Structure 1
Amino acid sequence: MVEPDFSAILPVSADFLPRRADQSSWMGMYLRAGTATDDVRSSAVRSYDVLAETAASPAVVWRLLLDSRSWPAWSHIDELDVGRSSGLSSDGRDVVGAIRAFRVGKTVITERVSGLEPGRHFAYEGVESPHMADHQAAIDLHETPGGGTRIRWHGTYRARGIERWSSGRRVERVMRTMVTGLANHAAGQIGR
């Protein structure tokens, strides 16, 4: 069987397409080429910016952000992969430079804490992700008049793999789920 040349329709370089003698199907080649690419140079910078409010104080929200072990409790993250993480604080107060590896299903996403302004600003950058490159994110906390917190989670990234063909709405939905989960969980922590 002659394998079709997908280099004209896939946004990857022709040298990237696997051309192995043991390739059993051209469809398998197409799927691997479309989802495993690291060629993000032509991918436009995308962004997200989501908000939520909680009755919890900025101090409560801040504690949750610093404690990477709490993230699975309030987000779509299944678990913190301690074996792939480094520099984690044993007291739940991760510092700049800590690398956090989060597992979602079979996928592991690794992020580095890149900036902290206590009680106000938490920043991180993507280290490894099959869906995003050049990911820079920040979570800003603003105290509201009643003592609660307005949480703004925003970032930029370049889509990679199959995410390159999406509109970016999926990432926006995921981040909205994250900020809402944080806000709701923080509210549940009041008085604890």
Structure 2
Amino acid sequence: MGVQHIDVSATTTAPAATVHALLRDGASWPTWSPLGSFELESPGPDGGESVGAVRIFRTGRVTNRERIVEVVPDRRFSYALLSGLAIKGYRADIDLTEGPGGTTIRWHSSFRAKVPGFGGLYRRSLTSFIQRCVDGLAEHATARTQPHGRS
């Protein structure tokens, strides 16, 4: 059972601070991603959605529990999956690189399938899901920075 890797990206005209604020606000995720709902199960030691916080996202019959494992203001947001999918060791790092034309969002993750032979299937499915997340995040961040933008 080999490690599976996902690496997708999108660019927004929004500054990195805007994108990072959306990532840190779990309640915003159902607005810009395919996720159905959000709940903060437990805050981090520094309060709210800081490192160590456990967040729950529900989509249909799937409930994922994730722990925030790294936050670098305006540069990186990382989380690890605690439960919800038949995979183990899932960690996602969302890196933000601000340039003259805006911010590049790179969402990369790795995991192992719990069931031998299913790694590729999960990778393909999650790649599509995560690409929808990163595209939605980029679009939503852009809209937030436009005059009369949606939020």
TM-score strictly above 0.5: yes
Contact kept, 8 Å, 2:44 with 2:51, in 1: the verdict is no
CA distance in 1, matches of 2:117, 2:21: 32
Aligned ranges for residues 99-178 of structure 1 at < 5 Å?
A: 99-146=54-101, 148-160=102-114, 164=118, 166=121, 168-178=123-133
Give 1:167 shift: 6.3
Alignment-derived partner of residue 8 in structure 1: none
How far apart, CA to CA, are the structure 1 residues paired with 2:117 and 2:140? 29
SS in 2 for 1:189: helix
2:134 match: 179
SS in 2 for 1:168: helix
Taking CA–CA contacts closer than 8 Å with sequence separation of 6 or more, which of the two structures ends up with the larger relative contact order? Answer: 2
Q: Which has the larger radius of gyration?
A: 1
Rounded to whole Å, the distance in 2 between the matches of 1:136 and 1:112 is 10
TM-score, structure 1 normalization: 0.69
Matching residue's letter, 1:117? V
SS at match of 2:78: strand
Question: How far apart, CA to CA, are the structure 1 residues paired with 2:82 and 2:76?
Answer: 20
Q: Is 2:35 the partner of 1:87?
A: no
The count of corresponding residues between Structure 1 and Structure 2 is: 145
- 2-side partners of 1:75 and 1:155: how far apart? 17
Within 5 Å, which residues of 2 pair with 1:18-57?
A: 43-57=1-15
Point out where structure 1 has 5 or more consecutive residues left out of the alignment. Answer: 1-42
Structure 2 runs not aligned, ≥5 long: none
Question: 8 Å contact 1:58–1:119 — kept in the other structure?
Answer: yes
1:111 maps to a residue whose letter is: E
RMSD between aligned residues: 2.2
Identity %: 36
CA gap 1:88/1:188 in 2 versus in 1, 3 angstroms: farther
Q: Which letter does structure 2 place at the counterpart of 1:114?
A: V
- Are 1:137 and 1:154, in contact at CA under 8 Å, matched by a contact in 2? yes
